[in-house]
Each structure stands twice: as C-alpha cells, then as structure tokens.
Amino acid sequence: RSPLAPPHLHLAHCAFDVVPSTMNGGTGMGSALEKRGLFDSSPELEPHAPSNSVSTDDASSHGRKRRRMESAVRELLECLGEDPEREGLVDTPKRMAKALLDCTAGYHQSPSEVVGDALFTVEDGCGDMVVVKDIPVHSLCEHHMVPFHGKAHVAYIPDGKVIGLSKIGRIVEMFARRLQVQERLTQQVANAMMEQLAPKGVGVVIECSHMCMSMRGVRQPSASTRTRALLGCMKDADMRADFMRMLSSES
C-alpha cells in the first residue's frame, strides 16, 4: 500500500523504467488529446512461431506466410529504388517478416489464455481499488503501420476475486501486439478485465506518443494522446476522481 494513498486504495507499480509524468484529470474515453512527454521502451515478445505441439499443416502454413511476407518486402525495397541483394539489405526481408510477426503476436492469443488460472478468491471480500500504473505500451498504428508507444494505467474494484498483477500487464500487451488505434486498445483492455474478472468496475487510461504524428505528416514530436475507458462503478464520480488522483500521485 502506498504510504500517501487514501486508506481505501491499493497501488501497484510495475517494475519497468518509465519516465514519470504528472497526469491531469481526463475527459471521455477516446476523446481527450493532451500534450505530453515521450516514454521508454518495453521488453520484446517472442514472435508467434509454431511450437512442438503445432501440427505439420500449421507449421507449413506459417512457413508459407513468412515466405510471402519476405517476398513482399523485397518488392517494396525495389519500389523504393533499393537493391535487395546488397549487403545491408540481403537479410532485411527475413528480419522484417520476423519483426512483424513479433509485433502482431497478440492476434494468436485470447484474454482467457493470457489470464489462465491466475484468478484468486479473496475470503475477506476485498473491495478496495487496485491500481497498476505505468504498464509499457508498444503497438503499431493500423493506418500507417508505424509505432505508437507509451504507458497504460489499469484499475479495478474487486468483487470477491483478484487477478495476478502480471496478468494485467499481459492483457495490455496482448491487445497492443496487434494493428491498433489507441481508442480501441483502451476499450479492449477494459472489456477484457471486466469479462475475465467480473469486478465491480474497471478503469483504463492509456497515454501514447504516435510516430505517425512525430516523424511524418504534421511532425509534432511533443504531442501525446490520452484515452480513457470506464466500466461499472468506475463511472461513479467519486470513484473516477479517486482513480485520477492515484494516477497523478508521484508515490
């Protein structure tokens, strides 16, 4: 429990190196845009590859898909006026195909698989707010297929059950490892928490910097986007205010 937090709130900090920032109260989900700072990176996932238990047909299909991706990358390089056979690019199609499979590994997972049996009954009926802050987010914008990155904050009010804290980060990561828009990502995380845990309420805030805004187009590297989703009792004004206060706390 954070020593500065109100007695009815629990706060869990993820063990990631994230640049701290002070957050202001949000507006409606998917609508608030604020100028924020940049954020750091998170560990990579292993790309989705056939395991020993995968059938021969599935492995063959995976290989065909990867070869098609490599061929497409070679054609793209040629369209850019490059020589795919030169030393620096000869392995680029293979590397890019592997990277894309890694960045979209979330398509091959479901919330129930990610959570598994990490749901635990709390006999004393714990009903305090649980908040996990600063979960790293790395995803690909589905409009330009360039990265957006930042952090997520997830809160829930238990209703007889709690979830392993690492699973909250894995739910965020699963949906981020797809072609995304931030508004949908925020809502998907909230919906998954509600469906898997059946808590009294869920709150999710995600704030990210988008490379499609900073490296191309309008070229505004200091801009950041914040989105919010509230479900159940988290829509209550007092609960919402407590959640936002916890996010603005430095403790």
Active site residues per annotation: 141-144, 182, 210, 212
Cα-based distances in Å from 63 to 56, 66, 84, 85, 118:
11, 5, 21, 22, 33
Q: What residues pair up with 157 in beta bridges, in sequence order?
A: 201
The angle at the Cα of 224, spanning 10 to 241, to the nearest 5 degrees, equals 35
d(CA 39, CA 146): 16
Closest CA to 193 of 160, 170, 161, 171: 171
Helix or strand holding residue 197 (H, E): helix 182-197
> Would you state the structure tokens that stand for residue 230, as one six-digit string?
């509230």
Query: First and final CA of the chain: distance in angstroms?
Result: 10
Compute φ and ψ for 153, nearest 5 degrees. -125, 125
